[in-house]
Amino acid sequence: MLYVPRFVVFVACLQHVLCWQSAFLDPNDRIELSWDVDDVAAEITFNVSAKTNGWVGVGFTPSGGMKDADIIVMWIADGEVHFSDRHATRQQVPIVDEVQNYELLDASEIGGTTFFSFRRSIDTCDITQDYFIEDGTSQIIYAFGETDPAGNDPSQHLNTNRGVRSVLLLDAPLGDIPVDETVKTIEFRSPSVPVPSTADTTYWCSMHRGPVIDKPHQYIGNKAIVQKGNENIVHHYALYECELNEEHNAEYFEQLLVDYAGGFSCYDPNSPIGALTSCQSLRVVWATGGIGDVYPAEAGYPIHKSTDSPLYYKLEMHYDNAAFEDGIVDSSGVLMYYTDNLRPHDVGILVAAMPVLYAQLIPPGVEEFVSVGHAAPECTAKYIPEEGINVFSILHHSHLAGRRMRTRLFRNGAEEPWLLNDNHYDFNYQQTRLLSEERKLYPGDQITVECYLSTSNRKKATLGGLSTYDEMCESFILYYPAMSLGFGESHPSLEYIHEIFGFENVTMNIDTMEYWVGDQLMEDVLLDFDWGNFDLESYQNRIRYGEHFGICAANVLEAEEGIIVSYPDVEEYQEPPRQC
């Protein structure tokens, strides 16, 4: 069985209000949170509905658990409503706040469902006992009991009656695909792939024929399709459009559809070369926890009608089988919406990143380490048109060590307000974020993506790589009108990395996606490294602020190298201070 994630539900919007949005907090749909932001009053209203006759607790946490959490507890006993604003400093019964900053609006207990509605300021200015709801990911903890408490505090709950879920409380909703008789759909899905149990990381590709059309169309949005039960192993996917040429023509791709009906390992040297070299135009990228994309009313991805053939696409799926589970078969993919009601502009994706490379080498046991990648001014000066491009949404992507992410913009000797910032990045909730207002990019702009990583719980060094346990640092920027620049990336000097860690003869085994130093795995070489006497501060400064080697590319196979880039010498942008 397949399903399209229904994580967020949208209803009518009112003036000065973003919209009611809602999310089920637990996997069994027993507790639902809905919210509505009033950006003029700087307030947010919440509704909570839980399938219990007992107490219910919902909280906001900076840590993913009870530590420093801001918690609301409510129950109804003998017709009396008990509602309190609380906090926790550790795993404990939540402590009632000295100042109650939450206003109860409504409460009921009917037919086994407990409901309550409350309101709070986005920033209550209770610095020590309330959570500051800021732009970006908010982690919501929940718990509920089967019965009302005997005293004034909630009773112990079952382990199955608690959890955490990330949401974007202050972001505008993605919007809806227009209801129009011209809008059609097509699915690109993995062909019942047996996910290998012998590896934790698998990149599996499949070829697909595009929609049959007799005139130009545009894709106007997409939704993720994740096979029920496989949510924990489908890590991300990318959909690439293939460019036909004399060698890799329609006949070639039609034969691939037959010869590789079950797909193929994306990075196997024996995989079809045409699928690698000709299918490089990124059309959709999705990562775990996301829903999909809805494009602005004035833009869409072009589907040009060819006189002799349809378009062809490559779907790249990343499976993360951490438990090496046997018997998993997957048919996940993407649902695309398209129309012949053409919009004035074509959508493009610009990837600002550190390339997936061992130059992203993070020492073990570090509370915070920053990886960066720059899209150099030379890149944007060459490709962005004079009138600029309009950024409407961004997807941040790092892996398990990721804690915070930021996409910065430098222009004419100054730093502009950040394009996107997330102080509570959650690997399990990677949703493309619609910007509150579109932002312009101009020729000569520098875009820098920063990933704030923590390896405090790791005893081994972490390398940039394709596995979930490796790291990445990428910002996928959606914009219009489209241009030919696809990637603006940078990495620190490999010679410096080799010198610091004593690497010689570095190679990569494409089958296992592992780096080797001579005849040893790079991670094994690093096990013997003397981290105790390592100058971490000097290394971090060089990796972050030193010269990077920049890469400009229409796609990953057409890279322009030789660019030297680093942070510009400007005053850093500062967020407006809290009004407390």
Question: Considering Cα of 262, then 266, then 272, then 275, what sign does the dihedral take?
Answer: positive
Please say whether the beta carbons of 59 and 70 come within 8 A.
yes
CA-to-CA distance for 234 and 197, rounded, in angstroms?
A: 14
What does R_g of the chain's alpha carbons equal in angstroms? 25
End-to-end CA distance of the chain: 51
Query: How many angstroms from the chain centroid is the CA of residue 149?
Result: 39
The 3-state DSSP class for residue 461 equals coil
Q: What is the C-alpha separation between 473 and 450, in angstroms, rounded?
A: 7
Structure tokens at 196: 């290998």
In terms of DSSP H, where are the helices of 44-134?
none
How many Å apart are CA 428 and CA 483, to the nearest integer?
31
- Residue 122 has which token pair? 């986005």
Query: What single letter denotes the amino acid at residue 460?
Result: K
Instruction: Check: CB of residue 348 under 8 Å from CB of residue 241.
Output: no
Ramachandran bin of 255, using left for φ above 0, alpha for ψ from -120 to 50, beta for the remaining angles: alpha
The one catalytic residue among 208, 248, 396, 397: 397
Q: Is position 203 annotated as part of the catalytic site?
A: yes
Q: What is the largest CA-CA distance in the chain?
A: 79
Say if CB 155 and CB 144 are below 8 A apart. no
* Options 142, 203, 252, 479, the catalytic residue: 203
Residue 266 backbone zone (phi > 0: left; psi -120 to 50: alpha; other: beta): alpha
Phi, psi of 274 (to 5 degrees): -65, -35
User: Which amino acid belongs to residue 540?
Assistant: Q
Assess contact for 474 and 398: CB atoms under 8 A. Answer: yes
CA distances from 397 to 307, 402, 449 (A): 38, 9, 10
The catalytic residue positions are 203, 397
